[in-house]
Amino acid sequence: MAASVVTWAGLAAFGRACGSIRSRLLGSSSTLSQVSCLHTSTELNSKHWERKNLVVYPPQQKDELRRPAEIYHCRRQIKYSKDKMWYLAKLIRGMTIDQALTQLEFNDKKGAKIIKEVILEAQDMAVRNHNVEYKSNLYIAESFSGKGKYLKRIRYHGRGMFGIMDKVHCHYFVKLVEGVPPKVEQKTGFDQAKEYVEQLRNRTIIHSL
Amino acid sequence: MATSICRTLKYLQPTICLNIKPVFVPIRTKKRYFIPPAVNVKQKSQSEQETKARAAGVVVRQQYIERAINISCTAGIFDPYIPPEGDARLSTLSKEGLKQRTEQLRQSAASQLAFRKIKDHDPEFSTKEFPALAQQIFIDAHAALTQFNKEKLHSLVTERCYPEMVRGNRYKTLRWRFIESLEPPRVVHARCPDMISKGNLYGQVTLRVHSRQTLAIYDRFGRLMLGDEDEPRDVLEYLVLERHLVNPYGRWRLHGKIVPAWAPPKDPIIKTVIIPGPTLKPEEAFEDLHYQVPKPKAVQWYK
Question: Domains in chain A, please, with CATH?
Answer: 68-179 (3.90.470.10)
Q: Does A131 touch chain B (CB under 8 A)?
A: yes
Q: What is the ipTM of this complex?
A: 0.72
Chain B residue numbers touching A1 (CB-CB < 8 A):
1
Chain B residue numbers touching A130 (CB-CB < 8 A):
219-221
Greatest Cα-to-Cα distance within chain B, rounded to the nearest angstrom? 105
Query: Which residue numbers in chain A have pLDDT < 70?
Result: 1-42
Q: How far is B145 from B151, CA to CA, in rounded Å?
A: 11
The CATH code that applies to domain B95-258 is: 3.10.450.240
Which pTM was predicted? 0.74
- Please measure the distance between the N-terminal and C-terminal CA atoms of chain B and give it in whole angstroms: 72
Cβ of A131 within 8 Å of Cβ of B221? The answer is yes
Percent of chain B with pLDDT over 70: 90
Tell me the mean pLDDT in the region B192-214.
90
Greatest Cα-to-Cα distance within chain A, rounded to the nearest angstrom? 76
pLDDT of residue B19 exceeding 60 = yes
At CB < 8 A and 24+ separation, what contacts does A2-8 make? none
At CB < 8 A and 24+ separation, what contacts does A111-115 make? A111/A78, A111/A80, A111/A84, A111/A85, A111/A172, A112/A88, A114/A75, A114/A78, A114/A80, A114/A172, A115/A85, A115/A88, A115/A89, A115/A143, A115/A172, A115/A174
Query: Where do the structural domains in chain B lie, given as residue ranges?
Result: 95-258
Q: pLDDT (tens digit, 9 = 90+) per residue, B141-161? A: 999 999 999 999 999 999 999
Contact B251, B243 (CB under 8 A): yes
pLDDT of residue A27: 45
Chain A residue numbers touching B175 (CB-CB < 8 A):
59
Q: How far is B209 from B235, CA to CA, in rounded Å?
A: 8
- The 3-state DSSP class for residue B262 equals coil
**Which of A55, A67, A131 is the closest to B225 by Cβ?**
A131
Say if residue A99 is exposed, middle or buried (CB neighbours under 10 Å; 0-12, 13-18, 19+). middle
Cβ of B221 within 8 Å of Cβ of A54? The answer is no
pLDDT of residue B158: 94
> Which of A5, A131, A157, A176 is the best residue to mutate to test the B interface, defined by the most B CB atoms within 10 Å of its own CB?
A131
* A7 to chain B, closest Cα gap in Å: 12
